[in-house]
Amino acid sequence: MRVAVIGAGSWGTAVSWLLAGKGVDVALWAREPEIAEGINAEHRNPIYLKDVALGRSVFASPDMERVLHGAEAVVVVTPSHGVRGTSELMKPYLAGDVPIVNLAKGIEEGTSMRMTQVIEDVVGGRQRLAALSGPNHAEEVSKGVPSATVIAANDDEVGRMFQELFMAPSFRVYTNTDIVGVELSGASKNVIAVAAGMSDGLGYGDNTKATLMTRGLAEMSRLGRHLGANPLTYMGLAGMGDLIATCTSQHSRNRALGQWVAEGGTVDGYAEETQMVAEGARSAISVYALAQSVGIELPIAHQVQAVLYEGADPMSSADLLMGRSARDELHGMDLIED
């Protein structure tokens, strides 16, 4: 099988390693020519996951037409803010029936679209689209550390095809019909992870982080339920699983961004220092805007946005959250439809 992987960052590199290990021919699109040249010459990404040896069935190119030629499936692994532009680059060379799975986690600013909606808006073909999400740090997946994920698709056959494509001895793949919940989980948990990092930066302990994660999951579920997601999706890999990994791991860019800011840094300073994208920085804007547009209250996301972009003091934001009026724990969380 020939698969096009669109994006040669850490996750794109890990996915290419995973698929090549199964004997798949991988055409990897790298925006930077030097990355493509390094992969083709040394079978390693010269910038991301440098220690990961890629199989010889992986070739890389900055030429989108060449990468998509003959592809039987497409895996989109760009940062969320680049999905629309990348889709526009793909459109002239993309066959109309080729299945596409998106791995980017975010909500588009301005449109409040989920990533599969963005791709559909550009290239069409709703039934061929799927999303993959879960507790999947690229650094661990690329080392064969046992991991699991979930594939959500608009068509069951497409979901099963991608399940079979990604399933490996160290990478277990489940399916879920709730593409709305899976995608919203992936975007909104990044915002909670930034808050968890701020907690670390302020020197708070396990009690605080556990509280943030639990109440963050409640926020995520409230928003998802209102938008048609299955609340039980948030108890699974794309929800709780990814939330745990992103809030606690030293690999997590979003947790690290929160800690960086709480210790006096800025969003721009973090990006410049690490040369990495923390999706939670953008999702803090887009997820909160989406919630406001449908009248859902997200107090943690609100405070994360205030700290990142409005100059709010992290300690003062923590005090505001702790000082909110008392509520029933399951407020807005009932599973019975009105």
Among residues 137, 130, 118, which one has the least CA distance to residue 162?
130
- Reported as type and span, the H/E element at residue 4 is strand 2-6
Among residues 181, 71, 209, which one has the least CA distance to residue 128?
71
Residue with the two structure tokens 């943690």: 300
- DSSP annotation of 168: B
DSSP of 195-222, one letter per residue? HHHHHHHTT--HHHHHHHHHHHHHHHHH
Residues 67, 27 contacting (CB under 8 angstroms): yes
Q: Which amino acid, 194?
A: V
Catalytic choice (22, 91, 143, 189):
189
Q: Give me 61's structure tokens.
A: 């190119």
Please say if 22 is a catalytic residue. Answer: no
Among residues 9, 6, 17, which one has the least CA distance to residue 52?
17
Residues 112, 184 contacting (CB under 8 angstroms): no
Interatomic CA distance for residues 196 and 205, integer angstroms: 10
Q: Angle at the Cα of 146 (from 142 to 152), degrees rounded to 5?
A: 85
Residue 171 φ/ψ, nearest 5 degrees: -140, 100
* Residues ≥6 apart with Cβ < 8 Å to 312: 303, 306
Among residues 188, 322, 162, which one has the least CA distance to residue 246?
188
Interatomic CA distance for residues 302 and 84, integer angstroms: 26
Q: How far apart are the first and last CA of the chain?
A: 47
Active site (catalytic) residues: 189
